[in-house]
């Protein structure tokens, strides 16, 4: 029976063989690696992946699709909302020591998924995700650009990222109304040790009124915490490099 894409799950299924091949080549999966696929759907990406690695763990919320996937002898199926999955509990089988996470993420919850994965970055070798192109533009954005924001700072703190492949709407069934792309995310070994929630709050405050100078937002937030360190609040949020936000978060934590 043909599966009807469900709008509530944000389902757009990859159907272009050339794009699928391009994604698999970008991931470059090898035998024995511990690959976890989020939202395998109709297995367009799943099959070429499992052919290369031998065994695959997939996370699928749709009950009907999960049932289909269970019939595949080389798949371990986690039927769940990915936002409820504890990735620390997915243990890679030797010789693999870390997870490689891939997926065509549902565009309606792609940002929450990216934030959900942040605390598990230490257990991950790399991540390759298909996302709305404008989201990836924000992820990799440089300071003093219109795309630079909270997502840029939070993810660049923990990952080195690059946009590796453009994907047009016609590569999907049904076609989405937006352009897509594939991002590669490699966890940084030299990241600043920070509490993810504390950094998130600081950056959220900073970008809450991005057209105003930081003295109106972050300046007041720092005053409320009796912060006495040096930080130039006579700038807009988008003018502050990632490294300065990280240094400020560390300084605030030390002075608490």
7 three-class SS: helix
12 is in an annotated binding site: yes
- N-terminal to C-terminal alpha carbon distance within the chain: 59
Q: Quick one: 73 exposed, middle or buried, by C-beta within 10 A (0-12, 13-18, 19+)?
A: exposed
3 is in an annotated binding site: no
Of 34, 5, 32, 188, the closest CA to residue 104 belongs to 5
Q: How far is 181 from 32, CA to CA, in rounded Å? A: 27
Q: Is 119 in a helix, a strand, or coil? A: helix
Known binding residue 104? Answer is yes
In the chain, where do the E strands start and end?
13-14, 34-38, 56-60, 75-79, 99-104, 124-132, 159-167, 172-173, 180-187
Is residue 32 marked as binding?
no
The 3-state DSSP class for residue 69 equals: helix
DSSP state of 237: G
Residue with tokens 């946009």: 163
Nearest-angstrom CA–CA distance, 21 and 26: 9
Pair of tokens at residue 145: 């650009």
Residue entry with tokens 């936002």: 83
DSSP class of residue 202?
Answer: H
Bind-site residues: 12, 14, 39, 60, 81, 104
Bind-site residues for S-adenosyl-L-methionine: 12, 14, 39, 60, 81, 104
């Amino acid at each position: 029976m043909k599966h009807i894409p469900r709008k509530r799950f944000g389902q757009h299924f990859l159907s272009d063989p050339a794009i699928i091949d391009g994604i698999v080549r970008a991931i470059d999966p090898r035998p024995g690696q511990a690959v976890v696929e989020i939202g395998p759907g109709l297995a367009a990406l799943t099959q070429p992946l499992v052919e290369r690695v031998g065994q695959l763990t997939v996370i699928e919320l749709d009950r009907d699709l999960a049932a289909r996937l269970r019939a595949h002898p080389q798949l371990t199926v986690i039927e769940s909302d990915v936002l409820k999955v504890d990735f620390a509990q997915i243990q890679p089988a030797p010789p693999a020591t870390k997870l490689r996470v891939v997926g065509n993420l549902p565009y309606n919850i792609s940002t929450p998924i990216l934030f959900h994965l942040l605390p598990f970055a230490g257990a991950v070798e790399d991540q390759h995700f298909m996302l709305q192109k404008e989201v990836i533009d924000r992820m990799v954005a440089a300071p003093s650009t219109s795309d630079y924001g909270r997502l840029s700072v939070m993810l660049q703190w923990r990952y080195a990222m690059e946009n590796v492949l453009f994907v047009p709407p016609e590569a999907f069934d049904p076609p989405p109304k937006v352009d897509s792309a594939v991002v590669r995310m490699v966890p940084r070994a030299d990241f600043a040790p920070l509490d993810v929630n504390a950094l998130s709050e600081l950056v959220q405050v900073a970008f809450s009124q991005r057209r105003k100078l930081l003295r109106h937002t972050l300046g007041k937030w720092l005053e409320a915490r009796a912060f006495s360190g040096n930080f130039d609040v006579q700038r807009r949020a988008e003018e502050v490099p990632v490294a300065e936000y990280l240094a400020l978060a560390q300084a605030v934590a030390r002075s608490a």
